[in-house]
Amino acid sequence: MTTDSTPKKTSFLSPVLITFMVAMILANLGGNMYGPLLSLYLENLGATVTQIGLFYTLSQVVPLILQILGGWVSDSLGRLRAIAIGSVFGTIGALILYGSTSWGWVLLASAVGAGAGALVGPSFDAFIAEKSTPQNRARVFGVSQMLYGVVGVIGPPAGGWIVENYGYKAMLGASAGLYIIAMIIRIAMARSGKHDTVSYERTSFTFAGLKKNLSAMFGLLFAGGVITWILITDGVRDISYGMSLNFLGLFMEQVGKLSIQTIGLLNGVFGLFMMAFMIPGGWLADKKGERIGIATGFFLHFLSLGAIALVPPASPVWIYFTGFAVAGTGIGLIAPAYQSLISKAVPAHLRGTAFGLFSTSLGLISLPAPYIGSLLWKNISPQFPFAVTAVVSLLTIIPVWLKFKLPKDNGNTDSTKEPNQG
């Protein structure tokens, strides 16, 4: 049995972690500049609402495949190497996006960029988990996300401002530049090799190693314990959120009658409140249990999305600012709690695979969600997809409260063996 109890693992002032977070800030800043405006950019390229829904559906196919493989690569080659490889894909995707002339090219950029998310996401979470202890892990995740969460405050307003004043190409060019800088930093970190150390035996980088990891994870997934219920709730969340949130920028413009710059500011408000509640959310999860933060976060999402579904078109802008603030608070409570719970509920040598798997969630089932959302928008009302998501958020609280609780001894050790799932 191994433990993650050395004091040096909890330090956030070490040079390696500072460099690690700087690169993450730059890459996420690039993504946040265009992410909230992507549906508007697709519209600018001539895509209809139905085509936008189809785009978001198709854009999930490649990540669905790569997320699990990305986690395995992380467990096999090491976190920093996987992140460096992912950054190369992210940079290529950003350059393709910059040169796009139709929504088909944007789809290609999304497919290439999926390699970045598949490799960087699971590796980042696993790296942070290995630099913390079970007793403070949720707070560590909270602090780490807060450090680069500032991009959610700066990125969308900056992107909206650049688009308003210089156009989409200028904004996409700036985003690609940030990706390039982040890639250089990450490659340098990976080449040093000295920081990519673990306290467990790595999985072999072979098909047999992949099969072994997946077999172990599927055993946990279908055991009926905490892991099973995380998968179910995360999958349901993916389905319902995919039906509505991809169209949020378009909804704000067409129904809310807001400018692109205002939409950027709204996303900045979301990022500000998310960042502000990351550390309190981590503290709450460590002290009171992960399910408290997750359940509270889902309830706040119910309130914010319900407000979007119910307010009349062209309502006062402060209503939307309030809704985005409440939604950001919800994510600030949910994110560190979810990450902490997953890292505690799976063996250390499977963390990369686990985070990749949960990033995928029930991807096969959620694939048609954006397209279904576009049909609900077109045939019922633009508000209806958001109403569905709000109701699902409320109902998800029930299994979260009943099932998201680990045995007390699970929070005290980090065993490389399968933990007791209850």
pLDDT number for residue 6? 43
Phi/psi of residue 133, each to 5°? -110, 160
Residue 289: both structure tokens together: 């249990």
- Region 387-401: mean pLDDT is 90
Reported as a single tens digit per residue, the pLDDT across 159-206 is 889 998 999 999 999 999 999 999 999 898 888 765 555 544 555 555
What gap in Å lies between CA 237 and CA 247, rounded to an integer?
Answer: 16
pLDDT at 213 over 50: yes
What gap in Å lies between CA 119 and CA 82, rounded to an integer?
Answer: 6
Instruction: Report the candidate in 335, 365, 341 with the shortest Cα–Cα distance to residue 238.
Output: 365
Q: Report helix, strand or coil for 54.
A: helix
Question: Are residues 53 and 371 in contact, defined by beta-carbon separation less than 8 angstroms?
Answer: yes
pLDDT number for residue 19? 80
CA 54 to chain centre: 21
Reported as a single tens digit per residue, the pLDDT across 78-132 is 778 888 888 999 999 999 999 998 888 998 898 888 778 777 877 777 777 776 6
Q: Report helix, strand or coil for 316.
A: coil
Phi/psi of residue 385, each to 5°? -55, -35
CATH number of 7-188+205-408: 1.20.1250.20
pLDDT number for residue 282? 80
Reported as a single tens digit per residue, the pLDDT across 25-76 is 888 888 889 888 888 899 889 888 888 888 887 777 776 667 667 666 777 7
Q: What residue has token string 């009943």?
A: 402
Tell me the pTM: 0.62
State the DSSP string of 344-378. HHS-GGGHHHHHHHHHHSSHHHHTTHHHHHHHHHH
Question: Are residues 271 and 44 in contact, defined by beta-carbon separation less than 8 angstroms?
Answer: no
Residue that wins the pLDDT comparison between 141 and 400: 400
Give the start-to-end residue ranges of the domains of the chain: 7-188+205-408
